[in-house]
Structure 1
């Protein structure tokens, strides 16, 4: 296998808002983003995915069918990207498909993480070797299977002499403390909810999928009683390594805390308070013993202007940037990550996630579905 070549990374995050596909040229020292495509889920497919994430039990027929349907949707988006880039399938060395997470169980004797989007279907419909199921080998080695993005953050955002943290704000948020040594493993963990609770609330209260630039949150004020209830969650007090998902931070979790209030808060105040929860949980995760010169934000949360303002206000000694300021669009960091991980896997490169996930030793991540 060549050290340099074209790879495609594809992911749908916990918000289930799009199928993000990134075409990259990946080499031993440099990764270049060449083309992107944001594929839309059919409305009925998105609704079925979200319903599955909310349901404690599901039929094997429904799970298996949805797995293949998501695989078809991923393959359609990948083929569209390849055509848009003017390439052919034979020019792509591999696809790194994260899939769509529907359940993540990072602790216990039998930890697991389930991502649907059948890689057999993707390989068959694209004609390209597909690498999938990146998280579970890490979990088999004693890790939590997440976060994995910090591995690419270290590769892409390290800057000599600048003390940087990277925070990815998707449905959940995760933070990376870049290592001062450029080739060393960074530290990082999930901080808690990113956009997920804000998206849930605005969908319920205003029938909108997201809070554009955080404008609705900015119109409200923090409800201190609600904020205290939200912060009184054991997850925030756990020591790393730790990871989380919709299994914890979901509609029911929010409703339980709203029900404990002795008053009915204004809807905009709830949104403002949820934004504050995201900002505080990120900033409080930053190691106070280390000076942070720059906090680099990527993911959908990078478009939430109000949230960025709050992060800057809470981190007065550092500078809050987006990954766009560092040469890589905030919208595509995660998709690029899984293209980059596919390159690592196909070249049989072990990934050292011990300081991220708690794995006992480095492993080669992902199952390979050859064509």
Structure 2
């Protein structure tokens, strides 16, 4: 089976993940992975672009170049670590860094758009590898949300046999993939449920040293403010039916602070944000299960950075009593590399001229081959 590399930098802006994956007609296999932390200067540049009110082209170009060079460092480092030559890689699947995502466009009054900061031509030049990039806009052109794209990979990897399974990605934002038991004539469903690490990390970094709350310890020290939680959950996004996706253009610290009274303690806000993530995930899962009239227990498979947050996982168990937590490791995969691996697999789909999206997830008019190819 041929070799592919997947690159992922999520909305948490904490680093770049590179996964070396063997892909083919059978089950994909993760061979190795490498993570590179995001330099603080670049992280601030990217965050400023995510929150910018106007376009600063020199700033955009500088951040894109720095981001691409960091991607290249991840790829070449992974190849060197594994003793693999660039010409042994069929393609690198590059997701890029999401800067803005508005699949409806109505919030800005313009056309639908999704913008991932990337420079696949430079990445091919720096690594000597063919690159597949710009995965999202083909689905958007077909009327879809262009997100989430990982559910097709989740279905290939975790396809259920006799149970309902939910793959839960806890990155900057949370998204779910509902996998029906095999044999049922039920489609895979997936969508964003709301904020996860993006708000938690931002609030933590504003009040504590460090970028994130290790294990959710600070959140666990606070008390959930029920009145605040109700105000947060009153956002229209949580009532919207799928397909749906979101990002920093909707949920950000200004959104949070507009709902604060100013009397809350910082750690209580952190606890409430953790509860918001758990409650909104539970709402989304129950909504998806109702769509299928599914009953009984489900297996919940967390992945992403939030899979290491013990406080958050405990809240999820309380909010979802019918769910049993199942670690990714049971299936031979680390929760840290699942999203990067998805883009290796999507690159394989592109090179085989196979569809990469699921219309039941994104709402696109039909299956589409995703991504453009950039020669080495």
Structures share fold, TM-score greater than 0.5: yes
1:200-256 deviation line (CA, Å, top 9, x unaligned): 110111132111111111111110111011101000000000000000111111111
* Mapped pair 1:20 → 2:22: no
Tell me which moved more, 142-151 or 203-212.
203-212
**C-alpha deviations, 1:18-43, integer Å up to 9, x for none?**
11000011111111101110012222
Q: How far did 1:302 drift?
A: 0.2
Q: Counterparts of 2:153 and 2:307 in 1: how far apart (Å)?
A: 18
1:337 to 2:339 alignment:
no
| 1:44 partnered with 2:54 | no
2:30 pairs with 29, 33, 41, which one?
Answer: 33
Give the corresponding residue for 1:129: 130
Query: Within the alignment, does 1:75 sit opposite 2:72 as a pair?
Result: yes
- Match runs of 1:173-212 below 5 Å: 173-181=174-182, 186-212=188-214
Cα distance in 2 for residues equivalent to 1:303 and 1:103: 27
Cα separation, 2, equivalents of 1:274 and 1:231: 10
Q: Secondary structure at the match of 2:259?
A: helix
Structure 2 Cα separation of the partners of residues 107 and 213 of structure 1:
35
Q: Cα offset for 1:185?
A: 5.2
The correspondence for 1:290, drawn from 275, 287, 294, is 294
Paired position in structure 2 for 1:152 = 153
Query: Which residue matches 1:318?
Result: 323
Q: Retained in 2: the 8 A contact 1:165–1:295?
A: yes
8 Å contact from structure 2 (residues 151, 358) kept in 1: no
Which of the residues 90, 99, 121 maps onto 2:87?
90
Q: 1:63 aligns with which of 52, 60, 67?
A: 60
Q: How big is each residue's C-alpha offset from its partner over 1:119-156, in whole Å with a ceiling of 9 and x where there is no partner?
A: 01100011111001100000000000000111111111
The change in CA–CA distance for 1:309 and 1:102 in structure 2 (over 3 A counts) is same
1:308 aligns with 2:313: yes
Contiguous gaps of at least 5 residues in structure 2:
none
Partner of 1:242: 244
Shift of 1:158: 1.4
Q: Is the aligned partner of 1:169 residue 2:170? A: yes
Structure 1 unaligned residues grouped into runs of 5+: none
Query: How many residues end up aligned between the 2 structures?
Result: 365
Instruction: Show the counterpart of 1:99.
Output: 96
Say if 2:19 and 2:340, in contact at 8 Å, map to a contact too. yes
TM-score by length of 1: 0.95
Secondary structure at 2:326 match in 1: strand
Q: How far off its partner does 1:271 sit? A: 0.5
CA-atom RMSD in angstroms: 1.5
Work out whether residues 23 and 33 of structure 1, in 8 Å CA contact, stay in contact via their aligned partners in 2.
yes
Q: Deviations over 1:166-210 (max 9, x none)?
A: 110000000111133489851110000011111111011113211
Query: Structure 1 residues 279 and 128 mapped into 2: Cα distance closer, same or farther (>3 Å)?
Result: same
Distance 1:343 1:335 in 2: 13
Aligned to 2:228: 226
| CA-CA distance at 1:79 after TM superposition | 0.4
**Structure 1 stretch displaced more, 306-315 or 84-93:** 306-315
